[in-house]
């Protein structure tokens, strides 16, 4: 049911680029238990009528919703009439965002310390700085450019880098969904830990991994969307290429009846059961997959690089947020894949190591157990023959959601580098 509701999502998705930044003052997020068909139908109706928007992609029979201050009293009346139980996750989303903005202002130019969220250009300059300090272990290069012309910069890390091509490759990416800021910064933390710039107590463990593998790390795979979420709409999810007219309604002259839509969901844009489950045909929806697989320049760049190296690819790992989950293939088929035992063991090792760090519980489940989806990056590379292909949904479980406080960047990195090491050791 959750994935069906997602088809209706489009928070700010059809706002024009010249629009003022979206103001979420007074908005609230709620978690609603979907205990009856009546309540599910009610939520569908409210989304269709743009009374609410969906925030989280699914937590079993619960759903996280976003509602404006204006619509909130009517929402409560509707939920009460349907006998719904709910909890308020955020009393004022706008205040949370404003608090986050104040944190962003504390960033010191030229300093990358994992105590803040940084713009793409500073993420890239940090990768270059790592290479400057570790020239025998690291190099950066671009695998392509985004629609707006931003580089998709990766860092490759290994001992004896000059001869690393012969080693099995481990790929890590983040930032596929624009609003999931913690994902790119966790990936950056992992890169730093591999070079012993942070978590130096792990040096011996990561050094053994660097002897055996080459790590290719893409912290920011959707740079256009990420920058837009920083400047204009904090809840933006997709890319930024114009994608069509709202509901597909186009005038004879080619203009849109109800507004121009922007962006494709990049994690619905890979060629894995493309366009069938957990997607929408409305170009303004947050889960619009595009007209065809790999329609986006960033997904094309990932495809081309990964296909070139797939015979040498030992692990694909993509970081998202939120919900604290280790997700295993496949997302569109309830039948367990042939490698399910391998996946189960890998997930168990990762979530146990995460738990041992700060006591955070990450559930080890198949993607389809959460909600059926087509077109994800992990499913696509798994279908290309890469046995170990996973997605991790990071902190938290809903209080802050996509707006994870900066104080949690380092703890999230600490638990996930340990989960990552445990995962790699299962290969």
DSSP H or E run through 382: helix 377-383
Q: What angle do CA 156, 160, 164 make, to 5 degrees?
A: 55
Q: What angle do CA 411, 414, 418 make, to 5 degrees?
A: 145
Beta strands in 257-411 (DSSP E): 260-262, 313-321, 325-328, 363-366, 389-394
Please check whether residue 182 is in contact with residue 412, taking contact to mean a CB–CB distance below 8 angstroms: yes
CA–CA distance, 178 with 278 (Å, rounded to integer): 18
Is 50 part of the annotated catalytic residue set? no
Residue among 100, 139, 393, 415 flagged as catalytic: 393
SS3 151: strand
CA–CA distance, 159 with 163 (Å, rounded to integer): 9
DSSP state of 250: B
Residue 359's Cβ-count burial label (10 Å; 0-12, 13-18, 19+) is exposed
SS3 358: helix
SS3 413: helix
- Please give the positions annotated as active site: 393
């Amino acid at each position: 049911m959750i994935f069906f509701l997602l088809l209706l999502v489009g928070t700010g998705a059809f706002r024009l680029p010249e629009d003022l930044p979206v103001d979420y003052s007074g908005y609230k997020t709620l978690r609603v238990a979907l205990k009856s068909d009546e309540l599910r139908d009610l939520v569908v109706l409210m989304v269709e009528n743009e009374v609410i928007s969906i925030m989280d992609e699914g937590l079993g029979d619960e759903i996280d919703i976003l509602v404006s201050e204006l619509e909130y009293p009517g929402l409560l009346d509707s939920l009460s009439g349907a006998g719904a139980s709910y909890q308020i996750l955020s009393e004022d989303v706008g205040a949370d965002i404003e608090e986050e903005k104040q944190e962003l202002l504390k960033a010191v130019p030229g300093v990358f310390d994992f105590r803040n969220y940084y713009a793409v250009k500073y993420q890239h300059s940090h990768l270059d700085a790592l290479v400057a300090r570790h020239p025998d272990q690291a190099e950066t290069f671009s695998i392509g450019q985004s629609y707006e012309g931003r580089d998709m910069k990766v860092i490759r890390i290994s001992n004896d880098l000059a001869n690393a091509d012969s080693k099995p490759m481990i790929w890590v990416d983040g930032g596929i969904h624009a609003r999931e800021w913690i994902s790119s910064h966790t990936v950056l933390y992992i890169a730093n830990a591999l070079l012993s710039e942070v978590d130096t107590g792990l040096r011996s463990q990561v050094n053994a991994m660097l002897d055996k593998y080459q790590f290719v790390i893409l912290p920011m795979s959707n740079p256009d969307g990420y920058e837009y979420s920083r400047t204009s709409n904090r809840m933006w999810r997709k890319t930024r290429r114009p994608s069509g007219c709202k509901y597909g309604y186009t005038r004879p002259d080619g203009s849109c009846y109800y507004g121009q839509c922007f962006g494709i969901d990049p994690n619905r844009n890979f060629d894995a059961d493309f366009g069938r489950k957990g997607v929408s045909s409305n170009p303004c929806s947050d889960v619009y997959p595009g007209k065809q697989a790999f329609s986006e320049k960033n997904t094309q760049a990932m495809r081309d690089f990964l296909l070139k190296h797939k015979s040498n690819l030992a692990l694909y790992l993509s970081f998202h947020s939120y919900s604290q989950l280790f997700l295993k293939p496949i997302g569109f088929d309830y039948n367990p894949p042939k490698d399910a035992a391998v996946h189960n063991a890998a997930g168990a090792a990762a979530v146990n190591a995460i738990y041992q760090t700060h006591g955070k519980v990450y559930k080890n489940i198949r993607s389809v157990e959460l909600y059926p989806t087509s077109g994800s990056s992990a499913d696509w590379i798994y279908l290309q023959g890469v046995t170990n292909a996973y997605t991790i949904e990071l902190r938290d479980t809903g209080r802050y959601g996509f707006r994870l406080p900066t104080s949690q960047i380092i703890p999230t990195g600490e638990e996930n580098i340990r989960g990552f090491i445990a995962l790699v050791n299962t290969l």
